[in-house]
Each structure stands twice: as structure tokens, then as C-alpha cells.
Chains A and B, each alone.
Chain A
Amino acid sequence: MTQDRTCPNCGAALPPLLAHARMVNCEFCGSSIVLEDDVVRKAGEAGEMLDAAELIGLGRAVLLGDWGQFSATGHVRYDYGRGHWDEYYGQLSSGDMVWVSVDEGDVVIQRPVTERVDGDGSAFRLGAEMTVNGIEYTCTEVSNAKASAFRGQLPEVIVIGETHLYANYIGAGGAALSAERWTEPGAGVQMAWFQGHWIDPFEVRPA
């Protein structure tokens, strides 16, 4: 159930919160607001989202090829210095919640890998081979990037300005795997794995 909330920073009304929301931006003061056990708290700034041509946007549904309609409710931008890529969190028409990343025409639909992945630091190396859920992948890219801005409602807390190490892997038939590695104060090295599929950008169309 959604509840009416106000921004802890400026007091402006927050949009109705979705069930999955753990982080939301205030459209009035630009704060990043984290929801913890029904408590809202300002976590920082939501960052500056510069205008850029986008294949997917908040509030406008798109068709993702064979995957059907996708409506983004959250958007994070990652900056790797010379450019950026966008990650969108939202719902497929089937009801499934997914992440869709868009990097200069490379569109990948992904879900978090729930099982334990046996990947350590050596997985973050070009050419590294990984098998996840029976699918074999090869690492094609490793880079550092920082979350530079976010908008909308996200299912997890993203620390704007924090730099993580990313790795992308590809498998047969367009299978895609990506990993993220960072150090959390007090908790040590953390990793997150996402598994999914490549989508032809020409098959991404307005719904």
C-alpha cells in the first residue's frame, strides 16, 4: 500500500511510493531520500541528470522486443569518465521487475542473480570465464564507474558519487552477465551479480 510522505529536507510531498521503493528523489529540493522501515531520511543529493538522448525514459512505456512492454520507475546514471550509461528499474507487462541497462545502443535486460556466484576478484578481468546458472560467459569489459545521478524510485540504495568496479560478460545467443564490486565501510568487499539478455536497440520502440 502506498503512503503519503513528505521530503525530510524541504517538506514537499513525495510521489506515492511503490511497494519496491527503497530510495526516491525529491523533485523540489533534489535530495536523495532513503526509506528505512517506514522512516524517510535524506541520504544526500539525487545528482545532476544532464539532458541526453535516451532510448528509455521514466514515465513512458517502451516495447523491449520479445520481452514486451517495460515501464521504468527508477533511473540511475553511471559515469565512467568519458561517458555514461543508464540503468532503468521497472516492470514488464508480465509483472516481473527487471533492470534494463542502456549503454550507447547496448541494451541489456537483467535480474539480480539470487544464487551464490563463485566469483572473486579474478572474475573482474578481460577474458575471464564464468558459469552462472549453467550458462557460460566471457568477460568483455571491466571499468570503474560512479553513480552520478538518479531519478524516480529504486529498490535499493545507491550512493551517488560512489565509485564501483564493473564487469560485463557475454554468453551464447545474447546472454549477458554483469558484476559490480565495491568496498563497504565495516562490511568489506561486496559484490552483486546480474544476469540477463541482450536486446537489439532497433527492437526497443515506444509502446
Chain B
Amino acid sequence: MTGHVTAIDCPNCGAGLPVLGGGRVVTKVCTYCGASLDAANGFKVLEVYADLKRPPSPFRLGMTGLVDGIEFTIIGTLGKSERYGGQTWTWVDHQLYSPTHGYAWLTVEDGHTLLTRKVRDWPSGAFLTTRAVDRAETRPVRSWRGRSFTYYAYSNWHTDFVEGEFNWRPKRGAKGATVSLLNNGDDLRMLAYADDGAEREVEVTRYFPEAAAAFGVEPLEPWDVHPLQPYAPLPKTRFNRLWYGGLVAASIGLALFLTVASGPRETLFDGPPSELAAPLTFDVEDASRPVRIGLQQNLQNDWAEFELAIRDPEGVVLAETFRGISYYSGSSGGESWSEGSRRATIGFAPTTPGAYSLAVTPAQGGQPGTMSRSQLRVTVQSGYTRPLWLWLAAGAFGLMFLWALSSKFRHRAARWKGSDWSEDDD
């Protein structure tokens, strides 16, 4: 190499500028006066950009950092933006240089840091232009290094800020279009077809969260999910999966246990209602839990009503009421139907342990004769449990569990949220 220059004075403003990049640098833009200099031609002034407004980025020219163990220097900064539908997106591209590994880009977007490299082993298939995407009837797909990439979005960008050195000729106000494709899986990459009107490049971008640490700047605080952001479940999500999974199992287990642990069902009477005479009696040991009385009669297209009277061991009337049973079924239009139920229940809170009485009196029925002859069964269950509440809890915990479990899918959906492909495109 013939005498490597390490610094120059800006021919426009006289400021001393370090030379950071290699021999392939063709443009250098003065940090102080915005003069764009022709590095390939004695640093002649090409044009001067007044009032350049530096976009926010913690990275500065001259900073060095390791990328996959290779030292790169930040040699240039571009501020870029895209305007669409009244919205503006902005990001910052820093050109990186390594004498052995060449040029790359470090991008700062929504607090995320990305690394982009130009590749020459282009995917097979035509270069994807924005026009090709507009014409496409199916979502474009490309294969690169054995991985499949699906069309994500295209961007018509605009260069707002230029500073430092570049191995090409960036200009403020320059426009370009990039069509990007994205993959899924463990090793996320974005494949971009970039066209600035003069040159076409294929670039590959990966998520590069190590950038802040590598270049020694304060860690950035990303917002929103970036399309390239790998799925990394938060400790909270991992915990929630285990925790709610465990709770689902616990509530189901308890519900099954309480179903079994419910007080045994005793039959107080089993016969035609006409044989009901004296009040039925039963013992309640635990007065803190409810008692449930069940009536079941095998009626067919009929109904029946029974007067019920429950008395506690001290003779206090706990209920004087009635229960009806009605059951109708048939078929119409080839479909069978049924209405009503052959069962009726009444639950009450016992007042004290001891012997309770239950008077069941047939009151009326649709066809009094049949009704009094149809077999009636009266049962009682004290210490009645109702696992419904545990099943509801299991359901609620199950929803929480599924939510935690679905975080990977939700992450993927968030990554693809910015895609501008819609299937109903004509």
C-alpha cells in the first residue's frame, strides 16, 4: 500500500478528520461542515450538506468493537427514513469496516441493533424489486444457504443524514427501495434486495443485541418486537408455564378427590308414590355441609308434583315446598327430542347433627293414575360436595397456562406484524 493516510484536513472547513476506512472508501462526509468529499479523487468537495441533523444513536465514528471475534470500526453514519400513509419510520445505519472482513452495517432501529452484510451468493430466482412484489400473485419466497425466506415488506427509503466514510457514494436526499424477506426458526435472518437505482445488492441482516456491549456504549432500550428478534421467553413466562400447569393439575386432582369424597348417596324410598306414608328419616352427622335430596321418577310424557317438608331434629321446619318432574319425548321430522327431566333435587343447610325428617306427598300429576304407580326413588346425600368450583378454577388456570404456552406463537405473530403482504391483494 502506498503510504496510508491517517488524517486529512477538510478542504471546505479545515477541520482535521481521521481516515478510518480502507482503500475502497470513495466518499467522506465532514462531520463538522457536511462537505461530501471524493476520497477517490484527492478529497475534492463534491457538495456541501448544510444543516445536517444528527439522528439519535449512541454509536459514533471511530468506535471499534468485535463482531464474531473480528474487530470492526464505525466509519460512517446514515440517517434514513420512510414515510408512508402519514407515518414516518426512522433508523440509523452505521457503516463498519474491518481490513480483513471488509464492510458491514450496524443498524439502530427502535432501540434494536442489527448487523447487515452484503452477500454475493445471491439466492436463485430473479432479483426481487418492488414492482415484482406488486405484480406477484403469491407471496414471494426465496431460498438462501438452505433456508427458506418469505416476503416480509418493502420500504421506499430516503437518506436524511450523511457523515463519515463509505465505500459507495451516499447522498442526502437519495432514495432507494429495499424488498425484505424473513425466515422463521432458531436462526433468524432478513434477506434484503436493495436497489438504489444505480446498484443492486443482496444483504443479509441478523439481530445483533451484543452491539452496545461490543462497541462500549450504554445498552439501548428496545421497544416493540423486531422482526428479527429471536424468541427468548422471559423468566416470568417460564415460571408461569410451570406454575399454572401445576395449578391445573392440582385443581383437577382436588376436583376428582372431592367428587369421590362427597357423602354417600342413601336411598330413603324406592317404590310407587302411592306407598309413601310416614315421613322418611335420615341422619346428618356434619351440620356444616349441605344435604341434597334427590327425587327420580320414570315418567314418560307425563308430569308429577310432590309436596316436600323437611324438619330438623328439633322439629323446626326447614322447608315446606314442592318439586315437579316432567318428561316428554318424541320424534318429529325424523329427529327425536326430549324435554324436561326425570329428576328433581332440593338442597338445604342442616342446623344441627341428628335425625331429620322428610315428608314427600304426591300432589298432582298429568295422569294421576300413572303418576302414582310410576316408580319413585328418593335419595339423600349429606356432606354434599360440589367440585364445579374447582373445575372452574382449573379452567381459569388452564387459560393462563395456554397464554404462557402461546407466548412463542404470539412472538412470531408480533415479528410478522409489520409485513405488508395481504393475501387478498389483486
Asked if B100 and A173 make an inter-chain contact with CB atoms under 8 angstroms apart, the answer reads no
**Most B CB atoms within 10 A — which of A54, A80, A104, A198?**
A104
What DSSP secondary structure best describes chain A's contact surface?
A: mixed
Asked if B99 and A104 make an inter-chain contact with CB atoms under 8 angstroms apart, the answer reads yes
Residues of B within 8 A of A82 (CB): 23-25, 39-40
Q: Mark A171-206, 1 if CB is under 8 A from B, else 0.
A: 011101000000000000000000000101110000
Q: Mark B76-106, 1 if CB is under 8 A from A, else 0.
A: 0000000000000000000001111111000
Looking at the complex, which one of B23, B101, B103, B122 makes contact with A174 (CB distance below 8 Å)?
A: B122
Asked if B102 and A201 make an inter-chain contact with CB atoms under 8 angstroms apart, the answer reads yes
Asked if B1 and A52 make an inter-chain contact with CB atoms under 8 angstroms apart, the answer reads yes
**Given A50-B1, A55-B100, A104-B99, are A83 and B23 neighbors across the interface (CB < 8 Å)?**
yes
| B68 interfacial by beta-carbon distance below 8 Å | yes
| A53 interfacial by beta-carbon distance below 8 Å | yes
| A106 interfacial by beta-carbon distance below 8 Å | yes
Asked if A104 and B23 make an inter-chain contact with CB atoms under 8 angstroms apart, the answer reads yes
**Given A172-B122, A173-B121, A174-B120, are A104 and B24 neighbors across the interface (CB < 8 Å)?**
yes
Residues of B within 8 A of A53 (CB): 98-100
Q: Which of A102-116 contact B (CB under 8 A)?
A: 102-106
Residues of B within 8 A of A201 (CB): 100-102
What DSSP secondary structure best describes chain B's contact surface?
A: loop
**Bound Cα distance from A200 to B100, whole angstroms:** 11
List 23 A-B pairs, Cβ < 8 Å.
A52-B99, A53-B100, A54-B100, A55-B101, A79-B1, A82-B39, A83-B22, A84-B1, A102-B100, A104-B99, A104-B167, A106-B102, A106-B120, A170-B120, A172-B124, A173-B122, A174-B121, A174-B122, A200-B121, A201-B100, A202-B68, A202-B70, A202-B101
**Beyond A82-B23, A82-B24, 10 extra complex contacts between A and B, CB < 8 Å:** A54-B100, A82-B39, A83-B22, A83-B23, A103-B24, A105-B100, A106-B102, A172-B124, A201-B101, A202-B117
User: When A and B form their complex, which 7 residue pairs have the shortest distance between CB atoms, in order from nearest?
Assistant: A83-B23, A105-B102, A174-B121, A198-B120, A53-B99, A82-B23, A55-B100
Binding site for A on B (CB under 8 A): 1-2, 22-25, 39-40, 68, 70, 97-103, 117, 119-122, 124, 167
